[in-house]
Chains A and B, each alone.
Chain A
Amino acid sequence: MSDVALDVVQQVLNGFLFGSSYALIGIGFTMIFGVMDKLNLSFGVTALAGAYTGLLVFHLTRGPFVLVFATAVAAAGLLGLVVELMCFRWMPRDYPLAPLMATMGMLFFVDEVIAHATHGRPMAFPAPMGQVMMDLGPWLLRGAVMGALWFLVYKTRLGLATRAVSQQPVAAQLCGIALPRVNAAVFVITGMVGGVAGTLIGSAVGNLSPLLSLPLTVKGLVTAVLGGLGSVPGAVVAGLLLGVVEYEALYFFGIGYRDMVTYLLLFAFLVFRPGGLFGRGVRA
């Protein structure tokens, strides 16, 4: 096999590796949109904040990675609930833009809190399984989280309620499903998924920095749109696709063109397939 062919294969594998992070972030965006028909722009930064909380516990206790991981997931889930309350439940319903702008405000607020707490400095993040397993471990964990999420959405009563709210909120309420409770549960679960993503990204990069929040948000949004807003399998496939496209673009065209190719892909999808890969189509 020639060097170029080897590199292309390597880039595909790298793309899958990092694409799985995009997939997890994309799932967060897409699930909330699926249930509430609204975008939560603060999802990426709450994932990061969860990872920072895990890091704080690590610095305080010097405990094992599993403690860091559990703290990050729990904190991100809690933050998800805070976002649901502050940016959605308590927002006036007559102004559809209010929750969107509130989540944007939350994004910058949490970002700035992190920057203040850390002085904006990058902080070393512990690796879960040592250097050898770094390449495969996070990938397997991401796969496991996606599988668990699929089980939750399609095989449990909560998942059934979530899908019911997503498809027909009024009918779901008439059937006795408590809308606020389902919404809160979705925010907590997606927050926890974000916590997993934040922790694994921190481990893979080796550092946490407030610099991560905006790229996570943008890549998560692109993933959700490519996959089809509201579609969890779509977010998974789109995340992997986005990762591979980015890596191949970087290899063949360089850093100056990587993001151009990504956004051209997004543009092409919006023009030719606006519903995304697995989307429910464009609404009237």
Chain B
Amino acid sequence: MRHLARVTLHLLLLAALVVAVSGILAATPALAQERAVKIAGVGAMTGVIRGFGINSKAVFDMVVDEINEKGGIKLADGTRAKIVTTFVDERCNAEEGISVVRKLASEDWLVVIGPTCSNVAEPLFGILQRKVGDAGDTGLQFPIFTDTAIKPGLAKISEWSFRNVPHEPTMYNHLFKWLKEKHPDVKTVYGGVESDFAHSNANWGVMEAAAKAAGFEVLGVEKWLLNDTEFSTQVGKWRRAKPDVVAISSHPFTLCGTLREMKRQGVKPKLLVGLTSSATLETMAGCGPDAEGLIIPTGFAPVTPEAQRVAKIVATKYKGNVDLHSAAVYENMYVLKQIIETSGVEAKPGTVQQDRRRIREGLAKVKELQGLLGKVTRTDDRESVKPYVFAIAKNSDWAVLYDPR
């Protein structure tokens, strides 16, 4: 009998212990959840553009771990909260991007970093409230801080949209001016563009204007499509025109195709200029030797100790690459940390909308931020003017040709 009582007592103690432990376990995430700063990443994680999303996510994970390891973010009442994240796939598709951001906005996420593609960013910014405080505008009141989508001028669509992407007109104006100074004998430019890709098209406009402004004669532009595989007709026209400069506004797949065709047809312009988004390891993997001499202005190169440190950690621990797009994620996260710590964000379940507004207002006030290459200036239309370098393809790798910082 005594034995039975002892066993019963032990069972009761065990049950009490289990209840207590499970209570603690249940309470711990609840507490953490209550005081967590929830930041969502949105990028292309499937499809042919997923390389950009993978790099953004790698940098996102790296910087979040770094901030959390240093104690997280200090909230308005002095408590420290960890950053909680998710990274959702927009598939480089406008409908998908809008759908996932609407879902995030309906939950308690405070701010979004992303998206990857300009053709997603443009309509996505269109569903945000255009002007803050406009009671007649039922658009989403949800801050978005873009790292990758680079088509010029998108942030002006809504006062809730912010971007930290390289300012292509500034970079290309400088590049063509610099090329003219360094190579006064170079006079003519012939372009090439992926005509069915928003960023490539917009960038060709930028290149053409910059070349004309620098005193080049633009002979024309040849066009192809994003998934074209054969470029002999277009390259044949370059061969016949014999331009001094060939400026190609296309992403790595068709860029590599055209470079290969140029080699095949023996087209050797004095200078070769490429699209910002092709200043990546992707181009080197696709056609390193054929890209020799290709010059591209880029908002990232491992030329500062901090840039080298981040690039090394992301490559070794997070299996991603820091490039001109993904580097912005690092910068954006530290800007957000600073804003959250200084603008009274509470990160409580009942303060989501106020916190989003505080973050938006904080982002709007930022006039300067510390980037991986140096000071980044913010413009009134919520864009960045970032430091940049001119990179050149050399021995199947990127080297810095000129550093104007």
Residues of A within 8 A of B (CB): 3, 7, 10-11, 14, 18, 112, 115-116, 119-124, 131, 134-135, 201, 204-207, 209-212, 214-215, 247, 250-251, 254-256
CA distance A255 to B287 in the complex (A): 24
| Stretch from B29-37, B200-208, B253-261, B379-387 forming part of the interface with A | B253-261
Contact B286 A120 (CB under 8 A): no
Most chain A CB atoms below 10 A, which of B48, B257, B282, B286:
B48
Contact B286 A250 (CB under 8 A): no
Please judge, given known A-B contacts A3-B240, A206-B287, whether A120 and B48 are in contact too, CB under 8 Å: yes
Contact-size category for B: 20 to 34
CA distance A262 to B339 in the complex (A): 55
Residues on A with beta carbons closer than 8 Å to the beta carbon of B282: 121-122
User: Which residues, 191 to 207 on B, are CB-close (under 8 Å) to A?
Assistant: 195
Name A247's closest neighbour in chain B (CB-CB): B233
Name the distance in Å between A140's Cβ and chain B's nearest Cβ. Answer: 17
Contact A11 B233 (CB under 8 A): yes
Residues on B with beta carbons closer than 8 Å to the beta carbon of A215: 227-229
B399 touches A (CB below 8 Å): no
Residues on B with beta carbons closer than 8 Å to the beta carbon of A211: 48, 226-227, 253
Contact B48 A205 (CB under 8 A): no
Contact B257 A210 (CB under 8 A): no
Residues on A with beta carbons closer than 8 Å to the beta carbon of B287: 124, 206-207
Contact B285 A120 (CB under 8 A): no
B88 touches A (CB below 8 Å): no
Contact A120 B195 (CB under 8 A): no
Contact A7 B257 (CB under 8 A): no
Most chain A CB atoms below 10 A, which of B46, B51, B223, B230:
B230
Residues on A with beta carbons closer than 8 Å to the beta carbon of B240: 3
Give 20 A-B contacts (CB < 8 Å), ordered by A residue. Answer: A3-B240, A18-B230, A115-B46, A120-B48, A120-B49, A121-B286, A122-B253, A122-B282, A123-B286, A124-B256, A124-B285, A124-B286, A201-B229, A207-B253, A209-B48, A211-B226, A211-B227, A211-B253, A212-B227, A214-B227
Name B49's closest neighbour in chain A (CB-CB): A120
Contact B236 A123 (CB under 8 A): no
Please judge, given known A-B contacts A201-B229, A214-B227, whether A119 and B51 are in contact too, CB under 8 Å: yes
Contact of A206 among B49, B223, B256 (CB under 8 A): B256
Contact A115 B50 (CB under 8 A): yes
Q: Which 4 pairs between the two chains have the least Cβ-Cβ distance?
A: A211-B227, A122-B286, A120-B48, A122-B253
B263 touches A (CB below 8 Å): yes
Name the distance in Å between B148's Cβ and chain A's nearest Cβ. Answer: 14
Apart from A122-B286, A207-B257, A255-B224, 11 more pairs, CB < 8 Å: A120-B47, A120-B51, A121-B252, A122-B285, A124-B256, A124-B287, A201-B229, A207-B253, A211-B48, A212-B229, A247-B233
Contact A121 B51 (CB under 8 A): yes
Contact A131 B233 (CB under 8 A): no
Residues on A with beta carbons closer than 8 Å to the beta carbon of B50: 115-116, 119-120
Name the distance in Å between B220's Cβ and chain A's nearest Cβ. Answer: 11
User: Which residues, 271 to 308 on B, are CB-close (under 8 Å) to A?
Assistant: 282, 285-288, 290
B21 touches A (CB below 8 Å): no
Contact A256 B223 (CB under 8 A): yes
CA distance A222 to B8 in the complex (A): 79
B173 touches A (CB below 8 Å): no
Contact A254 B223 (CB under 8 A): yes
CA distance A250 to B257 in the complex (A): 17
Please judge, given known A-B contacts A119-B54, A122-B256, A255-B223, whether A205 and B230 are in contact too, CB under 8 Å: yes
Mask of B37-68 contacts with A, CB within 8 angstroms, 1/0: 00000000011111100100000000000000
Residues on A with beta carbons closer than 8 Å to the beta carbon of B54: 119
CA distance A187 to B401 in the complex (A): 53
Residues on B with beta carbons closer than 8 Å to the beta carbon of A134: 264
Name the distance in Å between B239's Cβ and chain A's nearest Cβ. Answer: 11
B338 touches A (CB below 8 Å): no
Contact A7 B47 (CB under 8 A): no
Contact B229 A205 (CB under 8 A): yes
CA distance A121 to B224 in the complex (A): 19
Contact A122 B252 (CB under 8 A): yes
Please judge, given known A-B contacts A120-B50, A211-B48, A215-B227, whether A250 and B233 are in contact too, CB under 8 Å: yes
CA distance A120 to B257 in the complex (A): 16
B232 touches A (CB below 8 Å): yes
